[in-house]
Amino acid sequence: MADGSSGARPKLVVASANPDKVKELVALLGQRYEVIARPDDAPETIEDQDSLEGNAIKKAIEIAEFTGCSALADDTGLFVEALDGRPGVYSARYAGEDASYDDNVTKLLGELEAAGAVDVEDRRAEFRTVVALINPDGTGVTGEGSIQGTIVAERRGDGGFGYDPVFQPDEGEGRTFAQMPTDDKHELSHRGRALVALEQGLQRL
């Protein structure tokens, strides 16, 4: 890890330009790392890989090369069984390149309705996140986390972001991610689990 001198938290530059993701990563990692925001002048990464891991690694490599610091990137996908795994790796831009969170949720609910997926058992889904930490010398590690759940018929809750208002994790006591306090969501979430796996990978290096 770069800048890991005694007593100092190691520095990580977050590759994501999504402020909601950055806020969540700071909440998850802020006690262990000095989390630094993506520089405003960093070039945009074209997410053209066919896997979450590929996109996460590509984003982290480009930011590590640009900043000269260790970089942390993630890619997250929602995989819905009734939609043959869609939106999957295209979750962030499901309704188009400039789609809002609400646009993506509206498209998801519309496609499930069109597919006749009305009953709970027909609306099974999985959130998956891959995080990648890449050092300036090109070494690094990845971690993956996932959580099973269902897509509810209507938006519930005001918290979170993305698909959180319609994703009800199996372990969430009937709440969507958007209905959970932040600490509860972090304890269960795919992103939190991916970061735990990343930490375990770092310890093995």
Choosing from 20, 75, 158, 183, the catalytic residue is: 75
Active site residue 75: yes
Question: How many whole angstroms separate alpha carbon 78 and alpha carbon 92?
Answer: 9
Closest CA to 78 of 52, 49, 42: 52
DSSP string, the chain: -TT--TTSPPEEEE----HHHHHHHHHHHTTTSEEEPPPTTSPPP----SSHHHHHHHHHHHHHHHHSS-EEEEEEEEEEGGGTT-EETTGGGTT-TT--HHHHHHHHHHHHHHTT--SGGG-EEEEEEEEEEE-TTS-EEEEEEEEEEEE-SS---SSS-TTGGGEEETTSTT--GGGS-HHHHHHH-HHHHHHHHHHHHHHH-
Residues known to be catalytic: 75
